[in-house]
Amino acid sequence: MEVFATIEGPGTDVVEVSVDRKLQGTATWSDRGVPQSHSFAALLPGKQHTIPEQPEILTPVPGEFVTALHECGKTAARDAGRFVLNHLQVRGKCGRVIATDSKRALVWGGFVFPFGGDVLIPAIPAFGCRELAGEAEIRVGHSATELIVACGSWSVHLPVHTTGKYPDVLSILPKPGTGTSARLDETAAEELLQILPALPGAKEENQPVTLELGERLVVRARDDATGLVRELSLDAAIGGPGRSVAVDREALGRALTLGCRTIRIHPITQTLSLEGLNRTFLVAALDPTRIVPRPESTPRPEKIDKPIADRQSPHSTSERSTPMKSNETNGSSSNGRHDPPAEESLDPLVEAEALRAAIAEVGTRAARLVTALRTTRKEKKVLAGVWAGLRQLNLGGGAS
């Protein structure tokens, strides 16, 4: 396969492959007129070259099954730990393909398989290549040792892992109608996809963005170095109480690319569930300290209904009680002394409004602090359970 990957090219030039008596192989070809060569070690024919037998029955499945294998393969971990997270779980009875790397999970369903049990197969990148992705006729078969995926004239034989353990990802899927949700239409989803990379904080760890689900869906981000905050307000169908959560923008963007249009925040675990047709992308929310609050969180001072003629600008001065003398002596009085410039008189209304705004800000911050302290006290036990669940969703990130 390494040789094939090396010699692959867009042209139709001939590639010559030769092997000498010492099993030293050489591939030679021309790339836009430039001679190329690649050396490799060959193998004598053996059992590893025997073409496996096809099962008697191969069941047709939708072409989306290859896409599910590819996207779930991208979600799986590169290495196995206590759980074999570098594998995919294909659940025959419920017709789903599942993958997780302990931080994210992708569940893709809607299939009917010719077997009822659950099998673990390697997560391989083959299903993303154009030869397989372009096939319309997809069939699936199952034997005691393999899962066979036939794509047109191609057949991929995937060995079944019979001793590995896999976490129960389906147990953490939120139930329909729970939590706080936002439903995006296609226009809003495309707008969000386009603006995500340009929001501040793209170089921060985990690339955090805040999702605020209230009257509208607000996506907000901050650059910690400069303090710059930008936000995007989108029309969305909101369900449930208002809630905010911080999430990795790359995970959000990937879920939108997969066609997920419903955003759901679990009320207890704060797990973010992004749902589309027959697919659900799960990602653990970032630490609550990464949530960016509204830039203008303090209430404005109440408007006082006073006649316009009686109002004064904050920068205006009150009228003098006596007319100013002419400046004929270049600032000097008749006795030769220099009088200091007249100070602007205090505007009681402006000062009162400023004081009320300051008091309101203090009250607001105090209320938020009390609420946060109460929430923290109540959520300690909940967070302990959340982290325990995420360690389980750790779904085997560490060694056994």
pLDDT digits (tens, 9 = 90+) for 49-105: 888 887 888 999 999 999 999 999 999 999 888 899 999 999 999 999 999 999 999
Looking at the chain, how many residues does it have? 400
| Measured torsion, CA atoms of residues 340, 342, 343, 344, in degrees rounded to the nearest 10 | -160
**Six-digit token string for 293:** 């609050």
Cα–Cα distances in angstroms (integers) from residue 109 to residues 45, 68, 159, in the given order: 40, 8, 21
Least confident of 2-11, 273-282, 292-301: 292-301
Neighbours of 120 (CB within 10 A): 23
Whether the pLDDT of residue 396 is over 70: the answer is no
Question: What percent helix, strand, coil does the chain show, rounded to 5?
Answer: 25, 25, 45
Per-residue confidence (pLDDT) for residue 179, from 0 to 100: 86
pLDDT surpassing 70 at residue 21: yes
pLDDT at residue number 183: 95
Taking residues 339-351, what's their average pLDDT?
54
pLDDT band at 325 (very low <50, low <70, confident <90, very high): very low
Distance CA 178, CA 260 (A): 17
| Nearest Cα residue to 140 out of 132, 131, 150, 130 | 150
Least confident of 52-61, 160-169, 177-186, 217-226: 52-61
**Tokens read off for 143:** 């034997």
Question: Which CATH number is associated with domain 175-294?
Answer: 3.10.150.10
Find out whether 73 and 127 touch, Cβ atoms under 8 Å.
yes
Mean pLDDT of 171-190: 90
Task: Judge whether 57-170 and 175-294 match in fold.
Answer: yes
CATH architecture of 57-170: Roll (3.10)
Domain boundaries, the chain: 2-10+18-45, 57-170, 175-294
Take residue 86 and report the two structure tokens written for it.
């570098």
Q: 119-123, 230-234, 379-383: lowest mean pLDDT where?
A: 379-383
The three-class DSSP label of residue 375 is helix
CA dist 206 to 233, 243, 252, Å?
22, 20, 11
10 Å Cβ neighbour count for 85? 27
Q: How many CB atoms lie within 10 A of CB 379?
A: 16
> Quick check: 393 pLDDT over 90?
no
The whole-number average pLDDT for the span 10-20 is 89
Residue with more model confidence, 259 or 394 = 259
pLDDT of residue 391: 56
Question: Amino acid identity, residue 394?
Answer: N
Mean of pLDDT values over 149-176 = 91
Q: What is the pLDDT of residue 176?
A: 78
pLDDT band at 136 (very low <50, low <70, confident <90, very high): confident
Higher pLDDT, 144 or 346: 144
Q: What is the mean pLDDT of residues 9-13?
A: 81
Least confident of 84-98, 205-219, 318-332, 381-395: 318-332
Percent residues over pLDDT 70 in the chain: 75
Mean pLDDT of 146-151: 94
Q: Indicate the pTM of the whole model.
A: 0.68
Q: 342 pLDDT exceeds 50? A: no
CA 180 to chain centroid, in Å, comes to: 17
Model pLDDT, residue 385: 56
- Residue 274 tokens, joined: 């992004």
Q: What is the pLDDT of residue 374?
A: 67
Mean pLDDT (the chain, rounded): 81
Query: What is the structure's pLDDT at 312?
Result: 40
Predicted local confidence at residue 52, as pLDDT:
80
- Report which of 90, 181, 210 is spatially closest to residue 142, judged by C-alpha positions: 90
pLDDT at 388: 55
d(CA 37, CA 46): 26
Partners of 213 in the beta sheet?
Answer: 217, 243
Q: What is the pLDDT of residue 144?
A: 83
Q: Which stretch of 17-31, 176-190, 349-363 has the lowest confidence by average pLDDT?
A: 349-363
The reported pLDDT for the residue numbered 169 is 94
